[in-house]
Structure 1
Amino acid sequence: MVRSGDSHCGAPKGYTLTNFESLGVSKPIVATLFQLGIETPTPIQEHSIPLLLEGRDLIGLAQTGTGKTAAFGLPLIEKLLADERRPDNRTTRTLILAPTRELVNQIAESLKKFIRKSPLRINVVVGGVSINKQQLQLEKGTDILVATPGRLLDLVNRRAITLTAVRYLVLDEADQMLDLGFVHDLRKIAKMVPKKRQTMLFSATMPKAIADLAGEYLVDPVKVEVTPPGKAADKVEQYVHFVAGKNDKTELLRKSLTENPDGRAMVFLRTKHGAEKLMKHLENIGYSVASIHGNKSQGQRERALKAFRDGSVKTLIATDVAARGIDIPAVSHVYNYDLPEVPDAYVHRIGRTARAGRDGIAIAFCAPDEARLLRDIERLMGIDITVASGEAPANMNGAPRRANGNGNNRNRNGGQGREGQGRGEGRGDQNRSEHRGSRQERRPRREGEGSEVRAGGEERRPRPERPTSRNEDFRGQRRGEAAPNLGPDNDLASTSDFRPSAKPQRPAHANGEPSGHHRGNSRHAHGRPARKHGEDRGPQQAQAGEPRRDGNGGNRRGGSGSRNGGQRRERA
């Protein structure tokens, strides 16, 4: 477990170092850093690099964008270069795990810049791209493997790589991996790597789950804490606008973007659907905007990030999952269009601005049903966020409640739920019983009322109930069909093409007897004598020009007369 006596916070004695060479980094790598414009180590680098070069397990607590990649990457490169052994086929000497594809790619790109003109190999393993291509790349082994846990386990199961040669293990953004549900994958991976290894865990926060994880992975670790958990960068100015609803949020966002045309902004929402909807709205009214969320392909996300980094797109709409770990130094504004459910996520969001010594502004929009979320955020950070406009609701200082005091269900107030958009302006003044009570009771249908009569006097039969064997997880998907990629607002489920068709009912014959049923055993409903099962047509029928089925004696199941296989042949 973490020992408080080993904690290094601030600038302790013995660590007041000002350049990388004095930290123990070799001259060739220092020269490479100088070419990249990196001359002075950040606090997390200054405190971590000497300890990692000593071989200590380490817990690093720092926000995204503080230089964590170099903090663990430079010591790893030094140790790998010192050991001239090459990795065996389908093995790796170093394993770095991160929660998202974007963060994995970002880490790999940074490390590749540090190892210019060196023989070290770096490979990336993420979902969303060809697993076969990744399998081929791992065939000759690799020095550093940067991966997401899920795709790594897929490749392990394919025997494309083994983890028995791992000497260095890094868990980056560990708190985010736990939030995304990777804890079981991490435990599986922990059993595959050797116990004799050096482990580094980096996180922006230190909840109990991270402490428990550190106890499983690390041995006698030292903790380096640069920014206390729950604290934002000092140069971030934070403001909150209290609004009545979603329309007010959109108008305030539009006004702020217009007033800051040269700024680069990130806008965070809770849902994929909400992010895409807001992006299209801003794009339609003339703003330069892109979006990244879980419904975007890997290529779409990479192109959106590249455009945002290059400046061709000024505003990036994102969800928390898609934007975790992204390092874009020039972000001037962060907008919390929706307040996050988890207070720690707010700290991660606003940490996207005020990087590399720059100033930043974080603006939050708070609807009445989000008051408890804002209160939890302020409690975590130990501050009162400055009110820019509006008035704080009465429930900010007490238990969250609705306008009529009937509980705190956010979805009933028109807020957004976990899986999609809320119901618009909300109906907070009506409880569920009132909604049900306003419904008219269905009265029994009177005889003959509302029924349709078909030709022949037969009354239309009611539609049969929907069969339960249908796959209900996908709207309109018939058994055996591929699942359509439908959004939560798709209405294909209500179209006739996607309803299960009941077996058609044949209309009744004019004499009132159902069509298709024999009167007795001798004749069909149309008056022609009935054949016995297996009996072939007689010569009289053949001479009359009626088609004959060859084979199987007229049995419709198989043979050349079958519906599925053969074709009917006319008898000469």
Structure 2
Amino acid sequence: MVAQAIALGKKPHIVVATPGRLVDHLEKTKGFSLRSLKYLVMDEADRLLDMDFGPSIDKILKFIPRERRTFLFSATMSSKIESLQRASLRDPVRISISSSSHQTVSTLIQNYIFCPHNKKDTYLVYLVNEYSGKKIVLFTRTVTETQRLAILLRTLGFGAIPIHGQLNQTARLGALNKFRAGSRDILVATDVAARGLDIPLVDVVINFDIPSDSKTYVHRVGRTARAGKSGKAITIMTQYDLEIYLRIEAALGKKLPEYPTQKDEVDVFQTRVEEAQRVARIEMKNMMDAKGKRGTAFKGGKGGKRRHDNMDAEEG
């Protein structure tokens, strides 16, 4: 907070901030104001409101001049966004690349794979092998699954690196830079970690865990097929995901085709996947044990802060 206050005291031309922290500085940092602000940009406005930043945004709007230009960007248009639009914009012009808030671009090829729950890992490895050498973003629902899959894929020789919300910003950007530079071609991510990050040149998005709603689905698959380029999005679905998947299809307004697979070609990977699963279980247990020991040893001390980064330690 102090370092940020010093930086703000230098009168920067552009301030990039989360709503909550910006309110903190507006209320507490001496000499800092936005009375001369000319441009207000709210990126991923739907996500900001989903994260309950609405009250902070309302406060910010009271601190800034009414005579300004405001740009509001959102992948989806909800009632919350409509309310924010009415509160923050005057005589707005809406520019939409889609007539539907749940529509995806025409250059995106979307498929699903239906498989038994206990074969998800095998079907995933089959897919990753099919797109070997391509830039892949692999979405999971939890931090633990992100770590497990990164270990499993690395054990099988794939260049996977995890990114999730328990990593600090430096570690997250480090993972992203490895992906950008090409030293890792598979980014295993949670939705929280991927939010707000610029992940360029993604060829394939794989939903290992089905997203909880259509809005999250649109955000995920929107990581590929950008700027007129083509891309693929493949969702792995099990018998437990059918209800959610059908709701997503209904929101999209179309039935997605099944990704063509041959059972015997998938089964070729089964033995190696089972061995990699065993390795991943051992490594995950070791990380959890080490985390517990560090938490006990450094409880209340300086050492506790780094332990999340160590959970994702990778060779090379």
Equivalents in 1 of 2:4, 2:255: separation in Å? 48
Q: Are residue 235 (structure 1) and residue 107 (structure 2) matched? A: yes
C-alpha contact 1:334 1:363 (8 A) present in aligned 2:
yes
The equivalent of 1:118 in structure 2 is none
Following the alignment from structure 2 to structure 1, what is the Cα–Cα distance between the partners of residues 66 and 240? 48
1:265-304 to 2 correspondences below 5 Å: 265-304=136-175
* SS of match in other structure, 2:85: helix
1:262-310 deviation digits (Å, cap 9, x = unpaired): 2010001112222122112222232111111110111111111111111
SS in 2 for 1:223: coil
Deviation, 1:254, is 1.0
Distance in 2 (alpha carbons) for counterparts of 1:168 and 1:353: 29
The 2-side partners of 1:195 and 1:356 are apart by: 33
Correspondence for 2:4: 134
Structure 1 or 2: larger helix share?
Answer: 2
- Indicate which of 192, 212, 234 corresponds to 1:321: 192
Separation (CA, whole Å) in 1 of partners of 2:260 and 2:201: 26
In 1, Cα distance between equivalents of 2:49 and 2:242: 26
Cα separation, 2, equivalents of 1:134 and 1:166: 18
Q: Which residue of 1 aligns with 2:218?
A: 347
Residues 349-405 of structure 1, C-alpha deviation per residue, up to 9 Å, x if partnerless? 111111233221111011222112111111111010111269xxxxxxxxxxxxxxx
Q: Is the 8 A contact 1:242 1:366 kept in 2?
A: yes
- 1:216 maps onto 2:81 in alignment: no
1:154 matched to 2:27? The reply is: no
- Residue of structure 2 in register with 1:459 after alignment: none
Map 1:11-30 to 2 at 5 A: none
| CA distance in 2: counterparts of 1:274 and 1:156, whole angstroms | 39
Higher Rg of the two aligned structures: 1
Structure 1 residue 184 corresponds to structure 2 residue 2: no
The question of whether the paired residues in 2 share the 8 Å contact of 1:329 and 1:356 is answered with no
For 2:59, what is the secondary structure of its paired residue? helix
Whether 2:177 is the aligned partner of 1:359: answer no
Q: Which of these residues, 295, 300, 306, is aligned with residue 482 of structure 1?
A: 300
User: Contact 2:107–2:229 at 8 Å: present in 1 too?
Assistant: yes
**One-letter amino acid matched to 1:156:** L
- Equivalence for 1:330: 201
Q: TM-score, normalised by structure 1?
A: 0.45
- Quote the offset at 1:216 in angstroms: 1.0
Q: What is the total number of aligned residue pairs between the two structures? A: 272
- Do the aligned partners of 2:135 and 2:204 also contact (CA within 8 Å) in 1? yes
CA positional deviation for 1:151: 2.3
| Partner SS state of residue 81, structure 2 | helix
Report if aligned partners of 2:111, 2:235 keep a CA contact under 8 Å in 1. Answer: yes
In structure 1, stretches of 5+ residues that fail to align are 1-130, 391-473, 491-572
Amino acid in the other structure paired with 1:137: A
Offset of residue 329 of structure 1: 3.5
1:21 maps to which residue? Answer: none
Q: CA deviation at 1:202?
A: 1.1
SS of structure 2 residue aligned to 1:142:
coil
Write the distance in 1 (CA, Å) between the matches of 2:220 and 2:54: 22
Partner of 2:152: helix, strand, or coil? helix
| Counterparts of residues 137-536 of structure 1 (less than 5 Å) | 137-159=7-29, 161-228=32-99, 229-245=101-117, 247-388=118-259, 482=300
CA distance in 2, matches of 1:377, 1:221: 30
CA distance in 2 between counterparts of 1:191 and 1:273 reads 41
Return the offset for 1:204: 1.0
**Secondary structure in 2 matching 1:290:** strand
The one-letter amino acid paired with 1:148 is T
The answer to whether the 8 Å contact 1:242/1:389 transfers is: no
Structure 1: distance between partners of 2:128 and 2:193: 22
Tell me if the contact between 1:235 and 1:354 (Cα under 8 Å) persists in the aligned partners: yes
Q: In 1, are the aligned partners of 2:136 and 2:185 still within 8 Å (CA)? A: yes
- 8 Å Cα contact 2:137-2:205 kept in structure 1: yes
Q: Is the 8 A contact 2:5 2:29 kept in 1?
A: no
Give how far 1:319 is off.
1.1
Higher relative contact order (CA 8 A, sep 6+): 2
**CA drift at 1:332:** 0.8
What is the CA–CA distance in structure 1 between the aligned matches of 2:40 and 2:234, rounded to whole Å? 37
Secondary structure in 2 aligned to 1:185? helix
CA contact (8 A) 1:333 1:360 kept: yes
